[in-house]
């Protein structure tokens, strides 16, 4: 069974037991329960397919926050030839790791 959920402006395919790396979820600490209620699509083990328009109202995906961390550094540079100008800036994006525990079809 898997589901497609929307969080942080992006859509993710999730299954029970896997880890989901998403945009940072403010207000949640490690070990807190998270419920994703914007579920777009569900496919069950017996082949049944549920499609929302745009969301499914009776389906919820729950998980537990594992950690908040920062991704690898991305370097952005600017170079202007013949002017002697060169700048390099770095950026590290925050993300939250969530372990998916249950896809509840109610």
Q: Which pLDDT tens digit goes with each residue over 74-93?
A: 999 999 999 999 999 999 99
Average pLDDT in the chain: 96
pLDDT tens digits, 28-51: 999 999 999 999 999 999 999 999
pLDDT at 40: 97
Question: Which residues lie across from 4 on neighbouring strands?
Answer: 13, 41
Kindly list the domain boundaries of the chain, sorted by start residue.
Answer: 2-105
Cβ atoms of 21 and 28 within 8 Å: the answer is: no
**pTM of the complete model:** 0.85
* pLDDT band at residue 106 using 50, 70 and 90 as cut-offs: confident
């Amino acid at each position: 069974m898997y589901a497609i959920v929307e969080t942080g402006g992006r859509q993710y395919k999730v299954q029970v037991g896997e880890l989901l790396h998403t945009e940072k979820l403010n207000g949640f600490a490690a070990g807190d329960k998270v419920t994703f209620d914007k579920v777009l699509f569900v496919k069950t083990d017996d082949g049944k397919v549920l499609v929302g328009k745009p969301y499914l109202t009776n389906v919820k995906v729950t998980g537990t926050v594992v950690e908040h961390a920062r991704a690898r550094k991305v370097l952005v540079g600017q170079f202007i030839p013949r002017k002697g100008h060169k700048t390099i800036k770095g950026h590290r994006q925050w993300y939250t790791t969530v372990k998916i525990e249950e896809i509840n079809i109610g």
